Amino acid sequence: MNIYFFVEMFKLNAVEVTTRLIFYYMTDLTNMSGKIFNDVKEGTFAEAILNTYGPLNNNEKFKEIYADKSFKILLNPKDGKYAALIDVIDGAVSVKGLDNQDKNKLDQKELGWDGFMQTTLALFDEIGKGNLSQSDIVKKVVARKIKMKNVKIVAKLSEMGALLRE
């Protein structure tokens, strides 16, 4: 743990401190097994993605369905500073925050992503809240407000979200 972590801890109440410590140590222990690794900065788009899809690591149905699957999805908000690389490996979800100012660092050859989606933070928010139907999303793709590569893989985010709502 670094100094920033302790400084932040003193601003929180006892329940929040306990929750964060438990999460920190659980994450650290799972890192040792090589399954789950999350590398995100606090308050970034990647952290929001981790908070959204991270609970799938405790979902038995998700682990069962994705036990033998492996893929990476890059979500890049054009107007944000950080992109999120979602990595699903053998029934475990991990998220890595990436600086998106240098587009060469987000290259498929460098990161090895299988699916890609790029749009504004506002549209990501609308999609995440479920305010856009599939036809609305298709219209935005045609209008080039949303850029996608390998839609089949990106569509797995919707499947994963459905498992969260069960």
Reduced to 3 states (helix: H, G, I; strand: E, B; else coil), residue 83 is: strand
Tell me, yes or no, whether 81 and 12 share the same domain: no
User: What b-and-e string marks burial along 15-46, b requiring 16 or more CB atoms within 10 Å of the CB?
Assistant: eeeeeeeeeeeeeeebeeeeebebebeeebbb
Higher-scoring residue by pLDDT: 15, 83:
83
The mean of the pLDDT values for the chain is 81
pLDDT value of residue 94: 93
Tell me, yes or no, whether 85 and 28 share the same domain: no
Tell me, yes or no, whether 21 and 57 share the same domain: no
Q: Report the pLDDT averaged over residues 43-61.
A: 91
Tell me, yes or no, whether 94 and 129 share the same domain: yes
What is the pTM for the complete model shown? Answer: 0.75
Going across the sheet that includes 115-119, the strands are 92-99, 82-89, 70-77, 115-119, 147-149
pLDDT in tens, 85-128: 999 999 999 999 999 888 888 989 999 999 999 999 999 888 88
Tell me, yes or no, whether 22 and 82 share the same domain: no
Tell me, yes or no, whether 50 and 82 share the same domain: yes
Tell me, yes or no, whether 142 and 76 share the same domain: yes
Here the tokens at position 34 are: 């090589």
Cross-strand bridge partners of residue 74: 85, 116
Query: How many domains does the chain divide into?
Result: 2
Q: Which domain holds residue 17?
A: 1-33
Tell me, yes or no, whether 72 and 44 share the same domain: yes
User: 37: pLDDT confidence band, cut at 50, 70 and 90?
Assistant: low
Cross-strand bridge partners of residue 93: 88
Reduced to 3 states (helix: H, G, I; strand: E, B; else coil), residue 96 is: strand
Which CATH number covers residue 100? 3.30.1050.10
pLDDT value of residue 75: 95
For 149-161, the DSSP string reads E-HHHHTHHHHHH
Tell me, yes or no, whether 55 and 120 share the same domain: yes
* CA gyration radius, the chain: 17
Tell me, yes or no, whether 89 and 41 share the same domain: yes
Tell me, yes or no, whether 70 and 135 share the same domain: yes
Tell me, yes or no, whether 83 and 154 share the same domain: yes
pLDDT value of residue 41: 83
pLDDT in tens, 57-89: 999 999 999 999 999 999 999 998 999 999 999
